[in-house]
């Protein structure tokens, strides 16, 4: 009889250990899946997309201070009027591409802005005045873009920084998430 009880105890111990082992395997599998999701999320948010909190009003009223912007980093062909994020001297800026390589930009004393002889009108409410450093008419060099912020009187852009290398452009803004009290 004691042998039977001993065998039952051994059998119960084996079953309990198998169950504990199965639970450990399930936890390890769950941990591996979570780790994989974290790695994939990190790669997506650092290599494919970039999430930036806008500081300042360079693109006011299109993008306001505190808004979150999502930048698509894989697009390397930029068109006029694309809103882009770019870094110059370690400082991140946001602006609208006004002219691409070989385009001619002219800004006169009255605030008139011309690209290839055509007046630029549209989404900005502020006049565009020339600043030091660039003589107009100005031809945008190869592999560069001419970027202006929409809040023309309060922004640092190509009028101050010169042409922006396409390598310095981090990507195109694809979404704006309004702060709404964030």
7-16, 123-132, 133-142: which is most confident = 133-142
Residue 117 has pLDDT above 70, yes or no: yes
CB 62 within 8 A of CB 123: yes
Which pLDDT band holds residue 21 (cuts at 50, 70, 90)? confident
Which pLDDT band holds residue 42 (cuts at 50, 70, 90)? very high
Using a 10 angstrom Cβ sphere, with 0-12 exposed, 13-18 middle and 19 or more buried, the burial of residue 57 is middle
Q: 68: which strand partners?
A: 53, 177
SS3 of residue 105 by DSSP = strand
Reported as a single tens digit per residue, the pLDDT across 148-159 is 999 988 899 999
* CA triple 93-162-52, angle to 5 deg: 10
| Whole-number Å distance between alpha carbons of 125 and 14 | 78
Contacts of 77-83 with CB under 8 Å at 24 or more apart are: 78/145, 78/166, 78/169, 78/172, 80/115, 81/122, 82/172, 82/173, 83/59, 83/172, 83/173
Q: Give me the pLDDT at residue 123, please.
A: 61
Which residues neighbour 82 within 8 Å (Cβ) at sequence distance 6 or greater? 96, 97, 172, 173
Which pLDDT band holds residue 166 (cuts at 50, 70, 90)? very high
Which residues neighbour 149 within 8 Å (Cβ) at sequence distance 6 or greater? 58, 59, 93, 94, 95, 96, 155, 156, 157
> How many CA atoms within 13 Å lie on the side-chain side of 131?
14
* CA triple 26-29-33, angle to 5 deg: 140
Question: How high is the mean pLDDT of the chain?
Answer: 90
Reported as a single tens digit per residue, the pLDDT across 77-100 is 999 999 999 999 999 999 999 999
Percent of the chain with pLDDT over 70: 94
Q: Give me the pLDDT at residue 111, please.
A: 82
Which residues neighbour 117 within 8 Å (Cβ) at sequence distance 6 or greater? 104, 106
Mean pLDDT of 37-49: 93
């Amino acid at each position: 009889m004691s042998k039977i009880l001993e065998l039952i105890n051994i059998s119960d111990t084996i079953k309990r250990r198998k169950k504990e082992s199965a639970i450990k395997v399930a936890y390890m599998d769950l941990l591996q899946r979570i780790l994989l999701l974290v790695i994939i999320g990190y790669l997506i948010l650092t290599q494919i997309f970039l999430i930036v909190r806008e500081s300042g009003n360079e693109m006011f009223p299109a993008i306001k201070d505190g808004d979150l912007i999502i930048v698509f980093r894989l697009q390397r062909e930029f068109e006029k009027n694309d809103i882009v994020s770019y870094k110059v001297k370690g400082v991140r800026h946001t602006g609208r591409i006004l002219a691409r390589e070989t385009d001619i930009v002219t800004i006169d004393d009255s605030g008139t802005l011309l690209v290839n002889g055509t007046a630029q009108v549209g989404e900005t409410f502020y006049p565009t005045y020339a600043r030091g450093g660039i003589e107009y008419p100005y031809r945008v060099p190869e592999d560069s873009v001419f970027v202006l912020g929409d809040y023309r009187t309060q922004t640092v852009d190509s009028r101050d920084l010169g042409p922006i290398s396409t390598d310095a452009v981090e990507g195109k803004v694809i979404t704006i998430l309004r702060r709404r009290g964030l």
